[in-house]
Structure 1
Amino acid sequence: MKERNYKPLIASLYFNYIFQGMAAIILSQNMNQLKIHWGATTTQITLVMSAIGLGRILALYFSGYFSDNFGRKKTVIIGILSYTIFFLGLLLSHSYLSAFFFALFGGFSNAFLDTSTYPTLIEAFPDEKTNSSLSVLNKAFISTGQFLLPFLTRFLIQRELFFGWTFVLCTVCLLINMGYLLFAQFPELSTKKTVKVIKETKTARLSNHGTFKIDGIALLVFSFVSVSIFNIFILWVPQFAEEMQVVSHEDSLTLVSIYSIGSFLSVFLTSGIVKRGVHIPRFIVFCLLASGSALLLMLLVPSFATLIIAAICIGIFAAGGIWQLGLALMLELFPTYKGKYTSYYSLATSVAIMVTPYITGVLSQYGVAMIFWFNLFLLILGLIAAFVITSRYDYLFPKEKAAPTFS
């Protein structure tokens, strides 16, 4: 029997992440226009941003359960429809309160896409090195969206066109992609098969699995931190550059594009490194150390050169796929219900997306530099968690393997 080709399916699933990347920055990119459109203040805009994280928290457990029990296709369709509600709802809102409600659907979509896409990838490509390297490629699509949106926004502003066309474009592209996925063939769910094997062996805990109170918590801390590092950076680095009087407002926007380029290129570098069988926990530690060094340099010696170095380093080392590698470790240590544990891991991300906009908004009253010192503190916290993960991984898999498995 000829093996089914799932590459077009995976490409279509990852195409959605272009618009997840745009959704992450579309509010900050259009903040001035949305203030007028909604009659809102900066604080109220950041409150709407926090709603995305709240939406993820509300939906993650259910989305993981739904994915494991009702299938990946239905889950991803719900994710796409939620994003269309998100984009159109924000555009049609005339107050920040109604925008807050529609922003929740952005969080719903994040949850449903994550808990359908990653398990589908693993079920379509069971080979451990293949799926571990492919698992970071979605970040390339996220980076593509974050690279393109600033140019689209700037194009509309320069020509004095309606800012909402980017919202409409995102909606149309997502609906076209959904049309393909409705008829696409998805791989068979592995959940029932895994449960059957566990029952037959009369054990739900294998000797080489981690302890959630130690390994799981450390990975959840890392999930929170890894997302916070680059989210805080891309949302606030233009303001930091202006406050330090390094560049003009227009030039400060290019720092986000530089970050996106570094993030995009790093995905392929990370994918190649992982495919060679690198020790993933140690690689994560290295990436955090490199990101922290660049961030500290930017804070101590603020200049256009150090800002560019920081943008490139944060893009390459903090946003180039280490979050996905952490998820790969989570699914290796706890493989029974992939959708469920993806939900747990993504829940920490949701908390970060919800909490950090509010915290950084408060810190901005004391200067934008305070936001980046807070970011450095989070990075150190993540580094501690990464050391715990590395130590535990070496204990659980002594010289047994270098890359995680997903079987």
Structure 2
Amino acid sequence: MKNKYMPTAISLYMNYFIHGMGVIILAQNMTALANKWGTGTGGVAVVISSLGIGRILVLLVSGALSDKFGRKPFVALGIFTYILFFAGIVMSPSIWIAYIFGILAGMANSFLDSGTYPALMEMFPKEKGTANVIIKAFISAGQFLLPLIVSLLVASKIWYGWSFIFCIAILAVNFLFVLSMGKFPRPGQDVVEAKEEKSANGQTNIKTGNLWIDGTLFILYGYISQATFYLVSQWLSEYGEKVANMGSTSAHALISYYSVGSIVCVLVTAALAKRAVKEIQFIGVYTLLSFISLLLMYLIPTPMMCSIMSFVVGFSAAGGVMQLGLTVMSSFFPKGKGTITGAFYTAGSIASFTIPLITGMMVANLANIILFDVIISLIGFILAVLITIRYRHLFTAKDKLAVNSKE
């Protein structure tokens, strides 16, 4: 709490609490929105898909620009654009108008990412991994709370739009705070301080990774890590019901176990990071756990196994492993955190687009979809091993440059 950036950091986390609601708010209000727009659930699903388009459109560019112009403008822009989304959806008379606002939501997410992740790493240079992983906890909290709010509104026969107004109100307060009181480090300030510290200790300059070798590994890891948890989160309930022969209620409960696992992972990661466990160690262990849990779910599709492995795969694949991967990538490329954030999460966004297309051709056999995820997670583990090898090669004991979030 002594960190002068703590109030701003809390504000940044609150943005992702609302973002967690934003990514599911259309699905949670699907019936009401379908009636408003004179369409079916398929029409609302089309609007939901627009979020991914908006994200890909600006993420790479906004990340690079945040390195040049600073983090604050992009955080503020992200908040403002999200407000436009929530207000626009409520006012949209048709799915085509709503589709435009859906694109704005994806853009808002990209603006927030390009400003927030680099800012947190610069605010907490000794706790980068923990600072980034906590974002996942706030997203999960938002996704947990919104269905309760929507259920309460439906049960009380209150207008569905209040769930949108709730999000607008919090974002409006946050927007005013960021503009008037938000304190952000200069882009790359943590790198300058680290260089000064090493120079004072008579050490060499900070090393950087190879753009083509290390950059390619991390881009692939960004795609694979997103694909792993996105695929299983979309098909877990169907797999439990139709392959593991679980009842409808029990099958849907698998998502709850999955979500609890992701939240527990954030807490465990934060606790271990405090004990000097490096981010590079987490990604290898977590990707291996993902592979094993998905493999067991595929080989032994029983209700008990699916329930246990849902928690494990939520813990290992959705508990912040992408944020940890980005943090490790920042060790390889410390001078352009906005740019690498844009590149890393653009790869993840592409996964969100392509994975549904691939799995859509496999719906005749749901077991094959989980097998596909097993293969993806295995590739993820191989990439994690290669990244670890590159990490040890670059940051050798001889040079005493074990750069990680604790430095």
TM-score band, normalised by shorter chain: 0.7 to 0.9
Number of the residue aligned with 1:404: 404
Q: TM-score, normalised by structure 2?
A: 0.86
Number of the residue aligned with 1:334: 333
SS in 1 for 2:105: helix
Change (3 A) 1:48 1:225: farther
How do residues 352-367 of structure 1 correspond to structure 2 at under 5 angstroms? 352-364=351-363, 366-367=364-365
Number of the residue aligned with 1:234: 233
How do residues 376-395 of structure 1 correspond to structure 2 at under 5 angstroms? 376-395=374-393
SS in 1 for 2:378: helix
The whole-number CA distance in structure 2 between the counterparts of 1:253 and 1:142 is: 20
Partners of 1:360 and 1:371 within 8 A in 2? yes
The whole-number CA distance in structure 2 between the counterparts of 1:360 and 1:32 is: 25
Number of the residue aligned with 1:152: 149
Change (3 A) 1:244 1:42: farther
Number of the residue aligned with 1:287: 286
Instruction: Give the deviation of 1:328 after TM superposition.
Output: 0.8
The whole-number CA distance in structure 1 between the counterparts of 2:355 and 2:74 is: 28
Deviation digits for residues 171-223 of structure 1, max 9, x if unmatched?
2222222222222241331348969x99xx9xxxx773211211111111111
Partners of 1:50 and 1:358 within 8 A in 2? no
Identity %: 36
Number of the residue aligned with 2:202: none
Q: TM-score, normalised by structure 1?
A: 0.86
Number of the residue aligned with 2:62: 63
Tell me which amino acid in the other structure corresponds to 2:76: I
How do residues 46-85 of structure 1 correspond to structure 2 at under 5 angstroms? 46-85=45-84
> Of 361, 375, 395, which residue of structure 1 is paired with 2:373?
375
Which stretch of structure 1 is more off in the superposition, 264-273 or 179-188? 179-188
Change (3 A) 1:241 1:33: farther
Instruction: Give the deviation of 1:119 after TM superposition.
Output: 1.9
The whole-number CA distance in structure 1 between the counterparts of 2:177 and 2:308 is: 40
The whole-number CA distance in structure 2 between the counterparts of 1:313 and 1:243 is: 21
The whole-number CA distance in structure 1 between the counterparts of 2:295 and 2:236 is: 14
How do residues 301-340 of structure 1 correspond to structure 2 at under 5 angstroms? 301-340=300-339
How do residues 29-178 of structure 1 correspond to structure 2 at under 5 angstroms? 29-40=28-39, 44-126=43-125, 128=126, 130-178=127-175
The whole-number CA distance in structure 1 between the counterparts of 2:337 and 2:87 is: 32
The whole-number CA distance in structure 1 between the counterparts of 2:28 and 2:381 is: 30
How do residues 7-18 of structure 1 correspond to structure 2 at under 5 angstroms? 7-18=6-17
Instruction: Give the deviation of 1:287 after TM superposition.
Output: 0.8
Tell me which amino acid in the other structure corresponds to 1:387: V
Partners of 2:120 and 2:132 within 8 A in 1? yes
Deviation digits for residues 145-195 of structure 1, max 9, x if unmatched?
122223333334445544443233222222222222222241331348969
Where in structure 2 are there 5+ consecutive unaligned residues? 200-204
Deviation digits for residues 89-132 of structure 1, max 9, x if unmatched?
33333443333222111211111111111222222223x3x233
The whole-number CA distance in structure 1 between the counterparts of 2:384 and 2:26 is: 31
Partners of 2:396 and 2:402 within 8 A in 1? no
Tell me which amino acid in the other structure corresponds to 1:334: F
Tell me which amino acid in the other structure corresponds to 1:391: I
The whole-number CA distance in structure 2 between the counterparts of 1:168 and 1:178 is: 15
How do residues 148-227 of structure 1 correspond to structure 2 at under 5 angstroms? 148-191=145-188, 208-227=207-226
The whole-number CA distance in structure 2 between the counterparts of 1:379 and 1:265 is: 20
Where in structure 1 are there 5+ consecutive unaligned residues? none
Deviation digits for residues 20-52 of structure 1, max 9, x if unmatched?
222233344444554444455565544433322
Partners of 2:74 and 2:115 within 8 A in 1? yes
RMSD: 3.0
Partners of 1:139 and 1:321 within 8 A in 2? yes
Number of the residue aligned with 1:24: 23
Partners of 1:136 and 1:324 within 8 A in 2? yes
SS in 2 for 1:212: coil
